[in-house]
Chains A and B, each alone.
Chain A
Amino acid sequence: DSGVTQTPKHLITATGQRVTLRCSPRSGDLSVYWYQQSLDQGLQFLIQYYNGEERAKGNILERFSAQQFPDLHSELNLSSLELGDSALYFCASSSGTGRSDTQYFGPGTRLTVL
């Protein structure tokens, strides 16, 4: 157990809908990262937050948005869902400071868009 939690574990929805994925980082970690892993694909970086502020952005679609709250949990919002958005979405957290900035991954949310 990495100490990073994600809910829900599974999510099944229809095209055009909107969903919210939630992540709680490890205790004390200030940085949260979101990654997308499609079937047979690697891990694609979406976005990073550090202490409530957006720090880095990857190839995140405009239909996707995220935020980090004062209690440091983060939410990833996916809207106007398409079949191709079906994937595993992982959240990772790290201390966000110094050179010892190991990223620890949560268990993931499996999103299925029908």
Chain B
Amino acid sequence: GENVEQHPSTLSVQEGDSAVIKCTYSDSASNYFPWYKQELGKRPQLIIDIRSNVGEKKDQRIAVTLNKTAKHFSLHITETQPEDSAVYFCAARFTGGGNKLTFGTGTQLKVEL
């Protein structure tokens, strides 16, 4: 079935360090992988996404890598800042049946001063 696993569930880093969150997906035909950031009580906000024909994408301090063979993708945040503290969700779009996203269970990132 359609499944996305996300690790770790919580991540604590010191300000200025890097943070890495990893996700694996079950359907090798998946073609779109967004990452969302959600602050407490607020809506999920898209921070970066990657499509299956690309191996890596970068936007300032944020990067996403995709390994289609291993069916996993990762979010990398460099030079972390306190405002990066939030819950991060990965997602995958599985082929067949609309455009729905299946989300991972989330990673609570805490950036400590």
Contacts and interface: CB of A to CB of B under 8 A. Distances in A.
Interface of A: 2, 31, 33, 41-45, 48, 50, 55-56, 58, 90, 94, 96, 99, 101-108
Given A42-B106, A43-B89, A103 B101 contact: yes
Given A43-B44, A106-B43, A56 B105 contact: no
A107 B34 CA distance: 18
Contact of A33 (B32, B36, B100): B100
B99 A56 contact: yes
Contact of B100 (A42, A56, A105): A56
A108 B43 contact: yes
Interface of B: 31-32, 34, 36, 42-46, 49, 51, 89, 91, 93, 97-106
Contacts of A56: 97-100
Contacts of B42: 107-108
Contacts, number: 62
Contact of B99 (A31, A42, A90): A31
B103 A105 contact: no
Contacts of A58: 100
B100 A102 contact: no
A6 to B, nearest CB: 9
Nearest to A6: B43
Nearest to A110: B41
A90 B100 contact: no
Given A101-B32, A103-B34, A42 B103 contact: yes
Nearest to A44: B103
A96 B43 contact: no
Contacts of A99: 31-32, 51
Contacts of B100: 33, 45, 48, 56, 58
Given A42-B104, A105-B43, A48 B34 contact: no
B89 A42 contact: yes
Nearest to B102: A45
Contacts of B101: 33, 43, 45, 103
A2 B36 CA distance: 13
